[in-house]
């Protein structure tokens, strides 16, 4: 993954530390997440798991988009319930599918990410966003809807960084992108983490996600079944069989593989 660039300037002034205790969340009477406990430390944490595991639900709950139960603390303080207060507190979400305004220009989409600050500060952040994402400066007046998927994803990440978050959440950032753009986007995510913004990323490209992450969690049916340093998860035989396609086909289910990993690594990093 050979992508290099200058350090990111946009981002929070302190590294975020998110602690989640006994989290439950879902849709109406249907609970997707049950008694979920995890810790998002400074650096890059990836959430892995099959479709329907509850990964997107977790990000929505942490963003205030759906009700949640349990306790969530950001740097030792209770996380607000309203989305606007969560953003003000230093968290930002790049949703699955990017959710840009296609009939607005790149500049206009970026400005929306800094809408909670004054005009002068918003202009300063916009200029810095173009410095952090130089490719977007060339497309500043282009309509977002006319860009490629990879370019749109870059706009979505830059828009989130316009809020100068302490913690950046990304939901399936590589979905539908060409392999080269996936590599570039994940390298950008790694740079963001290295320069002080804590990153929590949901991703199904297991191999590439673990290559850039510091630590990982595996969800199955709304429950945490494995966790640990990304390098150890990537080398685990059962994780490789269940999520990376290694070994004999059908030898191990995803659930049993993840549970075996927990048993093999009793000192989990949480």
Question: Could you tell me the mean pLDDT of each successive run of 10 residues in the chain, 270 residues long?
Answer: 41 78 94 95 95 94 96 95 92 90 95 90 93 92 93 93 95 89 92 95 92 94 92 82 54 41 39
Place of tokens 């990093």: 269
Q: What is the CA radius of gyration of the chain?
A: 18
Q: Are the C-beta atoms of residues 195 and 189 closer than 8 Å to each other?
A: no
Per the domain annotation, does 229 fall within a domain?
Answer: no
Per the domain annotation, does 124 fall within a domain?
Answer: yes
Strands ordered across the beta sheet of 18-27: 30-40, 18-27, 68-74, 77-78
Place of tokens 């997440």: 33
Per the domain annotation, does 115 fall within a domain?
Answer: yes
Number of structural domains the chain divides into: 1
Bridge partner residues of 168 (DSSP): 92, 199
Per the domain annotation, does 116 fall within a domain?
Answer: yes
Per the domain annotation, does 112 fall within a domain?
Answer: yes
How far is CA 70 from each of CA 19, 62, 253, rounded to the nearest angstrom? 11, 11, 30
pTM (2 decimals)? Answer: 0.83
Give the range of the structural domain holding residue 158, as residue numbers without chain letter: 100-164
Per the domain annotation, does 58 fall within a domain?
Answer: no
pLDDT value at residue 256: 44
pLDDT value at residue 245: 59
Per the domain annotation, does 117 fall within a domain?
Answer: yes
Per the domain annotation, does 30 fall within a domain?
Answer: no
pLDDT value at residue 115: 87
């Amino acid at each position: 993954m050979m992508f290099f660039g200058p350090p990111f300037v946009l981002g929070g002034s302190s590294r975020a530390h998110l602690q989640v205790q006994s989290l439950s969340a879902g849709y109406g009477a249907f609970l997707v997440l049950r008694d979920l406990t995890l810790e998002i430390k400074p650096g890059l944490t990836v959430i892995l798991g099959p479709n329907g595991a509850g990964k997107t639900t977790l990000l929505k709950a942490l963003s205030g988009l759906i009700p949640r139960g349990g306790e969530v603390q950001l740097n030792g303080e209770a996380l607000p319930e309203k989305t606007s207060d969560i953003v003000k507190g230093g968290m930002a979400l790049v949703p699955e599918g990017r959710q840009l305004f296609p009939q607005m220009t790149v500049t206009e989409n970026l400005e929306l990410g800094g809408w909670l600050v004054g005009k002068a500060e918003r202009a300063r952040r916009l200029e810095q966003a173009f410095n952090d994402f130089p490719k977007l400066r060339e497309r500043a007046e282009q309509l977002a809807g006319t860009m490629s998927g990879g370019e749109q994803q870059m706009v979505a990440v830059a828009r989130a960084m316009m809020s100068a978050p302490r913690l950046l959440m990304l939901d399936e950032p590589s979905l539908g992108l060409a392999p080269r753009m996936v590599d570039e986007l994940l390298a950008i995510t790694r740079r963001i983490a290295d320069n002080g913004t804590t990153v929590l990323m949901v991703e199904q490209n297991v191999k590439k996600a673990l290559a850039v992450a510091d630590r990982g969690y595996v969800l199955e049916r709304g429950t945490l079944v494995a966790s640990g340093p990304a390098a150890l998860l990537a080398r685990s035989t059962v994780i490789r069989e269940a999520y990376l396609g290694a070994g004999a086909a059908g030898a191990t289910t995803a659930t049993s593989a993840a549970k075996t990993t927990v048993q093999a690594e009793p000192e989990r990093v949480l």
